[in-house]
Amino acid sequence: MTKDREVVEKIVDETIDTLVDKLHDLTTDYMFEYGEYTESNDEFVNDHTMYRELVIKEMYKRLTDTGIYTVHGQSDPEKF
């Protein structure tokens, strides 16, 4: 069954937007909960960027190490 390219792109785009928003919100929440931050100053912004990058790298590692990143044996989205 061939998927309508517009539908596939919309689903992927909306999912990514949601994940990015959640990543930002959760990183902020956890920094205030577990870190020693009391305000959103320059240090907070710099650390927030660092934590987001680390989370993205770890997420990629976990997805690719477990094979979750592949669909039907393919890791190239163009082949879906």
What digits encode the pLDDT tens for the residues 48-68? Answer: 999 999 999 999 998 888 766
Q: Is there a contact between 69 and 75 (Cβ–Cβ < 8 Å)?
A: yes
- Give the pLDDT band (50/70/90) at residue 76: low
pLDDT at residue 37 in the model = 92
pLDDT at residue 1 in the model = 47
pLDDT at residue 80 in the model = 52
What average pLDDT does the chain have? 86
Helices and strands per DSSP (H, E), number in the chain: 2, 0
3-state secondary structure of 72: coil
For residue 57, give the H/E element and its range. helix 42-66
Output 29 or 69, whichever has higher pLDDT. Answer: 29
Q: Rounded to 5 degrees, what angle do the CA atoms 44, 50, 52 make?
A: 100
In sequence order, the 6+-apart residues with CB closer than 8 A to the CB of 22 are: none
DSSP state at residue 68: T
